[in-house]
Amino acid sequence: MSETKKSLNFLEQIIEEDLSRGLDKSKLRFRFPPEPNGYLHIGHAASICLNFGLGITYDAPVNLRFDDTNPVKEEQEYVDSIKADIQWLGFEWDKELYSSDYFQELYDWSVLLIKNGKAYVDDQTSSQIADQKGSPTEPGSNSPFRDRSSEENLALFEKMKNGDFDEGTHVLRAKIDMSSPNMLMRDPVMYRILKKAHHRTGENWKIYPMYDWTHGESDYLENISHSLCTLEFKNHRELYDWFLDQVYDKKDLRPKQREFARRNLSYTVMSKRKLLQLVEEGLVSGWNDPRMPTISGLRRRGYTPKSIRDFSESAGIAKRDNVTDLALLEFHIRHELNKTAPRVMGVLNPVKLIISNYPEGKEELLTAENNPEDEEAGFRTLPFSRELYIEKEDFREVANKKFFRLKLGREVRLKNAYIIKANSVEKDENGEVTVIHCTYDVDSKSGSGSEASQRKVKGTIHWVSAAHAIKCEVRLYDRLFTDKAPDSHKGVDFKEFINPNSLEVISEAFVEPSLATAQKGDNVQFQRLGYFNVDEDSTAERLVFNRTVALRDSWAKIEQKK
Ligand code: ATP
Ligand code: MG
């Protein structure tokens, strides 16, 4: 078989061009630069797979750099979770670095800028500064403090650093051009006073550099060859270039910034600020709620690292904004679990079924194949007895010809077991069926041996033996939002679109006894119902399952019908 070479994405093409123009391959170096102010989500996975993927393709180092310039929102908990998630996804960073490690260098460079007349201290409030910014069509106006002498600026900046001024009273600004068509070039703020402890530098600093001043310089200090970021930074590139021009030494590598489109997912919000709101307002159980688009939420839901990497790969890297269908993510986890998850039986909404001609007290062990898609998965035994549970919706007293499951007077096969026929029912005072009485065909046992019955009937249903089944909790999830793009409606809060039925808890489901040894995180298929995994809330007394995904895309069908 000939190996098909996958086509290069546009960023790989840029790198290939740089190499062909003489860039030494050993100079290639990438980074993933999260701000430790939230948990990573499936959008970040795109950037992680891109940067670490390039590292693998070109055998180049990839740094994990925390862009930690804002002590107000950043925490060690986020640093730890980000590291754990990247490792879980299967990637290794070269160095673990922090922008805060460069605070001194950044400060020294700022002093240099002041000396060169390229930065000044502004005594105005942030709203005064905003009022002078102008608009995209009108130039801004100069601050009255713009032409201070270098000496005065140096003295004031020093005082800012020493904590002599209150927050909000002074900022350091770059002196660029108040009439630039790029608003970001209109004397952007480089430092603000913040008397907050930082998760790494503690109380050392009373001033903190702005993200824009920090980001490009950090790439430069780390010799990053290709600084890949999302499209919203396209306008910032001019500013990063200007900052770099002020400090750049010709003998060094100059990082090249290129932008790609964010990963957006339908029926999902991806902004960390909004995800934090869901957590803080208790609308989900935490950052790792299985309905969250976070890596930790997906992991808890039963997604595997490979499914997320495959999804990122197949969704690709785009130049323009777009929305990826959530169904693509679900496709990848189904595709993987189809081959790897053992197939077992579980009944979510049980109704009792009694086989009247099966001897009372008799038990037999039937043989069941673990996964026909995986030759090595082998077989297991399943206890069978007179009283079983089947799924309520698999039985009807009367039904039309298209109903191939169990109905009165008709036959159906019990998966891995016998053919049964429904004869009568018992009902409660509300008319609900409580017991189905059946008889079985003794000669209809399924299996692959010579005694196996070849008799075929139209329907097959799943079941568990009532005396042997394990009672457990099952959590079924639906999309967290009812709208395709919950945060795209002007004037309507995204939380208006929260799906009130996104979680259904079934507290009395039954699963076959082979699951007694299941471990937290294990993935299984409940036949006919979907892929499930063992939730971390499980205890020795009580198993809790999450439905990772249904077997087929039931939404696609519903939407077609409408
Ligand atoms: P916020 O949501 O607070 O604006 P952010 O999502 O940009 O922040 P960062 O921690 O700055 O979060 O992101 C780290 C890296 O991941 C950045 O390089 C960013 O461009 C990239 N990234 C973030 N969100 C996405 C996304 N949806 N798709 C692709 N890359 C993303
Ligand atoms: Mg960001």
Q: Select from 31, 41, 47 the residue to mutate for testing ligand 1; criterion: most ligand atoms less than 8 Å from CB.
A: 47
- The answer on 128 and 65 residing in a single domain is yes
- The answer on 329 and 276 residing in a single domain is yes
Sequential DSSP letters for 421-455:
EEEEEEE-TTS-EEEEEEEE-TT---SSSTT----
* Nearest atom within ligand 1 for CA of residue 232: 20
318 Cα: distance to centroid of ligand 1 (angstroms): 15
- The answer on 280 and 229 residing in a single domain is no
The Cα–Cα gap between 249 and 254 comes to 9
Enumerate residues 6+ apart whose C-beta is below 8 A from 490.
Answer: none
The Cα–Cα gap between 12 and 18 comes to 10
| Mean pLDDT across the chain | 95
Percent of the chain with pLDDT over 70: 97
- The answer on 51 and 19 residing in a single domain is yes
Pocket of ligand 1 (CB under 6 A): 33-35, 43-44, 46-47, 229-230, 262-263, 270-273
Number of domains in the chain: 3
- The answer on 356 and 322 residing in a single domain is no
The Cα–Cα gap between 32 and 65 comes to 6
Q: How confident is the model at residue 482 (pLDDT cuts 50, 70, 90)?
A: very high
- The residue contributing the CA closest to ligand 1 atom 31 is 44
- The answer on 356 and 335 residing in a single domain is no
Catalytic hit among 118, 161, 272, 479: 272
Catalytic hit among 29, 118, 200, 262: 262
Amino acid identity, position 325: D
Domain boundary among 403, 435, 461: 461
In-domain check, residue 3: no
The Cα–Cα gap between 348 and 510 comes to 6
Ligand nearest to the CA of 43: 1
Whether 432 is catalytic:
no
User: For 367-400, what is each residue's pLDDT tens digit?
Assistant: 999 999 998 999 999 999 999 999 999 999 999 9
- The answer on 78 and 185 residing in a single domain is yes
Q: Which of 528, 46, 32, 10 is nearest to 328 (CA)?
A: 46
Sequential DSSP letters for 249-276:
-TTSPPPEEEEEPPPEETT----HHHHH
Q: What is the pLDDT of residue 495?
A: 97
Sequential DSSP letters for 478-534:
--SBSSSSTT-STTS-GGGGB-TTSEEEEEEEEE-GGGGG--TT-EEEETTTEEEEE
Q: What is the pLDDT of residue 554?
A: 54
The Cα–Cα gap between 472 and 453 comes to 33
- The residue contributing the CA closest to ligand 1 atom 4 is 271
In-domain check, residue 265: no
- The residue contributing the CA closest to ligand 1 atom 27 is 43
**Which CATH number covers residue 319?**
2.40.240.10
Q: Which domain holds residue 110?
A: 10-260
The Cα–Cα gap between 253 and 251 comes to 7
Checking if the pLDDT of 3 tops 50, the result is no
87 Cα: distance to centroid of ligand 1 (angstroms): 18
Q: How confident is the model at residue 557 (pLDDT cuts 50, 70, 90)?
A: very low
In-domain check, residue 4: no
Domain boundary among 233, 260, 287: 260
Q: What is the pLDDT of residue 560?
A: 45
Mean pLDDT, residues 160-184: 98
Q: Tell if the pTM clears 0.75, that is, is over it.
A: yes
44 Cα: distance to centroid of ligand 1 (angstroms): 6
In-domain check, residue 186: yes
- Structure tokens belonging to residue 263: 């990963």
Q: Select from 230, 272, 275, 295 the residue to mutate for testing ligand 1; criterion: most ligand atoms less than 8 Å from CB.
A: 230
Pairing of strands 433-440, 350-355: parallel
36 Cα: distance to centroid of ligand 1 (angstroms): 11
First to last CA, the chain: 44
Checking if the pLDDT of 553 tops 70, the result is no
Q: What is the pLDDT of residue 380?
A: 95
Point out the least confidently predicted range of 5-9, 158-162, 247-251. 5-9
Checking if the pLDDT of 410 tops 60, the result is yes
Whether 237 is catalytic:
no
Whether 471 is catalytic:
no
232 Cα: distance to centroid of ligand 1 (angstroms): 10
70 Cα: distance to centroid of ligand 2 (angstroms): 12
- The answer on 40 and 173 residing in a single domain is yes
- The answer on 93 and 25 residing in a single domain is yes
- The answer on 383 and 527 residing in a single domain is no
In-domain check, residue 466: no
User: For 432-443, what is each residue's pLDDT tens digit?
Assistant: 999 999 999 999
- The residue contributing the CA closest to ligand 1 atom 23 is 44
The Cα–Cα gap between 481 and 494 comes to 9
Domain boundary among 199, 229, 260: 260
